[in-house]
Chain A
Amino acid sequence: MNDQRPGYFASWASLAALAPLYIFSTDLTIGLVLGMTFLVVHSAAASIALLLPVSFGRDRIFVLSVVGAAIAASLCASTIRLLDPFLFEMTSHRLFLTAFTIPVMRAGLIPDTISDRERAWENVVRGLGSAASVVVVGAFRELIASGAVSMTMGQTQTTFLPIAGQPAGGLILLGLAAAVFKALLNAARGTTR
């Protein structure tokens, strides 16, 4: 199968790893909440893995990083609850899942070599990029679902293309976006694979 080759598998895995957040991100407000939470949680896991002494051991550092990420998710949820209890009720389960996504768990792994430690800042950039993509997906899905984008949740009616706001529509849009991206990449490289 094409997507079982190492390069394809890696790119597929990284896209699939964020798929739950893309599917949950149905509008701009939820996208912002999920994106911000993901950024905080991802940064917390990466920081703990980087700052803890190596003498703690690989397994212990991983456990502490994941627990730290879960605490960060809890704090984000509490903050959202203080700001807008209704938004918390609507998004709490989606927020909780961010702590257990594959990118966050990967960020919780201790860097293997000195070179990896020096490139740890890339984790922050990766988290920032992923968080931004979640927000963009939310805004885009709201736009094509309702024909408008609003900062207030529930203000827009999903009458334009309602399927875009549904989970199934999210997966299909993700597939189409991946195909367009792949076509552009192939065109840039001059390949037809």
Chain B
Amino acid sequence: MSGIGLAFYFVFGGNVLIQWGLLPAGDDINKASPFAIIFFMSASAFAALLNGLVYRHVLTPFGLESMAPVLFALLLFGATGLFQGIRALAGMARMDLQGDRSFQATMVLYAVGMMATGRYSSTWYLLGGGAAAAFGYVAATCFLESIMARLELEPIPAPFRGAPIRFISAGLIAMAFSGVDASFFTVFYG
């Protein structure tokens, strides 16, 4: 895959995560600071890199691909412990790791890692692919929240209000993204 392909993927990378049903749980993403978004993208990039390198160079040669989630869990908690340690040294409060937001972030990180591992092989592309997918996820989340805010003004039938219309909107976004992905990205950049 070329660098141009990766750059293109930067725009549409989140489509796979949307297609996988990894939906946002609220409008917090619109209130997130740029620092939080950059942190999330960096974490995704490193998760993709670690997952990709470990999967290719440690697990696959020994036929231990099934151990991938265990290794990811250990890496995740190792990184979390390190981060908590740094926060403690800096005199900051501990992060809440047992809330639904943290759970969802963990799942997205792993999904990004798996997605990038399946598509890229080089170190830089793994890093770029992870960050691109995270950016795409944030972008798609913002799109969905804007659509939901706009739909508040429409006379939606009562049974469709709330979760149902959100799922249907996400499905239409996924359809649009995958159409663009199939038409441009896959055709031109393989």
Q: Do A and B bind each other?
A: yes
Q: Which residues of A contact B (CB under 8 A)?
A: 1-4, 8-9, 11-13, 15-17, 19-24, 58-59, 62-63, 66-67, 69-71, 73-75, 77-78, 81, 92-93, 96-97, 99-102, 105-106, 109, 166-172, 174-176, 178-180, 182-183, 186, 192-193
Residue tally, chain B, CB below 8 Å to A: 49
Contact indicator A24/B98 (Cβ below 8 Å)? no
Within 8 A of A (CB), among B1-52: 19-23, 25-27
Contact indicator B178/A168 (Cβ below 8 Å)? yes
Q: A99-B69, A102-B104, A102-B107 are in contact. Are A183 and B159 (CB under 8 A)?
A: yes
Provide the residues of chain B in CB contact with A193, threshold 8 Å.
158
Contact indicator A70/B171 (Cβ below 8 Å)? no
Contact indicator B20/A24 (Cβ below 8 Å)? yes
Contact indicator B97/A168 (Cβ below 8 Å)? no
Contact residue among B19, B20, B100 (Cβ-Cβ distance under 8 Å from A102): B100
Provide the residues of chain B in CB contact with A192, threshold 8 Å.
158
Contact indicator B159/A182 (Cβ below 8 Å)? yes
Provide the residues of chain A in CB contact with B104, threshold 8 Å.
102
Contact residue among B111, B163, B165 (Cβ-Cβ distance under 8 Å from A16): B163
Q: A67-B73, A74-B70, A96-B69 are in contact. Are A167 and B178 (CB under 8 A)?
A: yes
Q: A167–B174 Cα gap in the complex (Å)? A: 8
B125 at the interface (CB under 8 A from A): no
Q: Total A-B pairs in contact (CB under 8 Å)?
A: 166
B interface secondary structure, majority: helix
Q: Which residues of B contact A (CB under 8 A)?
A: 19-23, 25-27, 65-70, 72-74, 77, 97-98, 100, 103-104, 106-107, 110-111, 114, 118, 148, 152, 158-172, 174-175, 178
Provide the residues of chain A in CB contact with B72, threshold 8 Å.
70, 96, 100
A interface secondary structure, majority: helix
Contact indicator A12/B110 (Cβ below 8 Å)? no
Chain B nearest CB from A171 CB (Å) reads 3
Chain A nearest CB from B108 CB (Å) reads 9
Contact indicator B22/A20 (Cβ below 8 Å)? yes
Other A-B contacts than A16-B25, A66-B73, 5 sampled, CB-CB below 8 A, are: A16-B21, A23-B21, A24-B20, A96-B72, A100-B72
Q: A174-B167, A193-B158 are in contact. Are A22 and B21 (CB under 8 A)?
A: yes
